[in-house]
Structure 1
């Protein structure tokens, strides 16, 4: 037994075993079980084949949730990649005083509970004229808005939560990428007469590609799987005309509220496939796979 444990052939498998067991128990098994349940009517204990998936394609509420999630994902990609990259460049600049203080301030929202943040933003975007958002627009002579009862103003409120919560996290990702770039490159560019903007566009931006691809990948997943922010902003899973309903929110409605577990599993698997396909496309488009092949 002792020889077996100290064997060079066996040792690698022993170290890998905890990871393999974790993947099998908490990833492979749930997915396999979910696939089986998606072809069933769990309450009636009947095998229904592809009926759950056929229902999805004609379910207007599901299609609405897909539209909401994709729109939210696109908005977060537009806001939470370029701006954190620029802010990280400013923090990495020698002109910035006390960068550690600003890092802490930017990262603080990520430590705040989503429940607390959602509650605060629900009050900020309240209907009353005394809510913060209505007071701000009142300065410009505008009438109070029912922010969370209109589609585009509700979308704006969701993006505000996303930017407030995740800008600091993405700044730290990009800052880590910037600090891995040798300073000699910038010094040589400066000697050659390159401006700060040219250094950013010709040096920082290209060399930040691995970090950008990583942030893009996790942002796509986070955008499509968003649920709790919407749930807290509308104080539940029933927003007016489903303007805040997401794919995960619809899954929650079907699986938890209506106990249609088979249909909910079909929703979850569609979400998994959509996330994987989009990420595989963007990884291929950014040349990630091409580098690995070389």
Structure 2
């Protein structure tokens, strides 16, 4: 038994130091007043009251939810469709397309932000504004306008993560027996009916996984808006997320207590949203089966 514990000990030691201890310390710190250098002062629920009464916190939560929905929901739907086509035997060069779709996920975040910064520049000659001009719309100041920043960041999130979800769905599709599609074809079911009544129901475990991970990732959005907006990211509220809010409190304002309180509130929101999405996803189709 001792040798077995020694084999698994490195993981638990690293997890305790890097994962568990910071989480517990953050919860304790949420009830303290601390600037990171002096002594802590217990203030009870005061940090939570300050955060909940701050309009910027609610604005950051609104931004997080909106950009999460705009960037996450479409990528799940498009991911299933792309995976379905990549799994079809009639499509040639499938390995090339699979690698191409997955490339954005492994691309450096800085490189992605630089490319999108050029595409969504406020200049009229930028690619996004040029396309809008062709469609008869006025140029948009993508980095300073309310919805311009949200749309640009949401597209960045969509482009970066759609390939990741596609690969997960593709793995799920390859686990579905081909006999089911052959039997459905013999019974006269078309491709759309096969997709809705065979592919989607059997992909439910993979859909639940991606919905859970996407929900958690969307509520923890930080890197994309921070890198895209640059040094002004923490000075404006057009695209400030909850994680950016607590980062600003901790490292810009030196208020680690309110930052930890915001982190605890975010944890509660993530647990609630992930549980709700998982429940809704796992319960889809039960009424049709009479459960």
TM-score w.r.t. length of structure 2: 0.91
- Tell me the SS of whatever aligns to 1:244: coil
Query: In 1, distance between residues paired with 2:79 and 2:282?
Result: 23
Determine which of 199, 207, 230 is the counterpart of 1:204. Answer: 199
Determine which of 109, 119, 130 is the counterpart of 1:114. Answer: 109
1:10 deviates by: 4.7
Contact 1:92 1:179 in 2 (8 A): yes
Contact 2:114 2:228 in 1 (8 A): yes
1:19 aligns with 2:3: no
Name the CA shift for 1:153/1:284 in 2 (closer, same or farther; >3 Å). same
> Per-residue displacement from partner, 1:37-73 (whole Å, max 9, x unpaired)?
1111113631111110000111011111111111112
1:32 aligns with 2:24: yes
Determine which of 65, 71, 81 is the counterpart of 1:70. Answer: 65
1:225 deviates by: 0.5
Contact 1:220 1:279 in 2 (8 A): yes
1:275 deviates by: 0.8
Contact 1:72 1:224 in 2 (8 A): no
> Per-residue displacement from partner, 1:90-124 (whole Å, max 9, x unpaired)?
11012211110101111111121111111221221
- Tell me the SS of whatever aligns to 1:155: helix
1:214 aligns with 2:209: yes
Q: 2:51 aligns to what?
A: 56
Which consecutive residues of structure 2, in runs of 5 or more, have no partner in the other structure? 284-291
Query: In 2, distance between residues paired with 1:284 and 1:16?
Result: 33
Q: 1:181 aligns to what?
A: 176
**1:124-139 residue pairs with structure 2 within 5 A?**
124-139=119-134
1:17 deviates by: 2.9
1:79 deviates by: 0.5
1:259 deviates by: 1.4
Give 4+ residue runs of structure 1 displaced > 4 Å after superposition.
9-12
Q: 2:288 aligns to what?
A: none
- Tell me the SS of whatever aligns to 1:242: coil
1:239 deviates by: 6.2
Return 231-240 or 77-86, whichever deviates more: 231-240
- Tell me the SS of whatever aligns to 1:234: helix
**1:97-112 residue pairs with structure 2 within 5 A?**
97-112=92-107
Contact 2:101 2:163 in 1 (8 A): yes
Query: In 1, distance between residues paired with 2:27 and 2:93?
Result: 52
TM-score w.r.t. length of structure 1: 0.90
Aligned length: 280
Q: 1:262 aligns to what?
A: 257
**1:163-174 residue pairs with structure 2 within 5 A?**
163-174=158-169
Return 69-78 or 46-55, whichever deviates more: 69-78
> Per-residue displacement from partner, 1:134-165 (whole Å, max 9, x unpaired)?
11111123332212221112111011101211
1:235 deviates by: 1.1
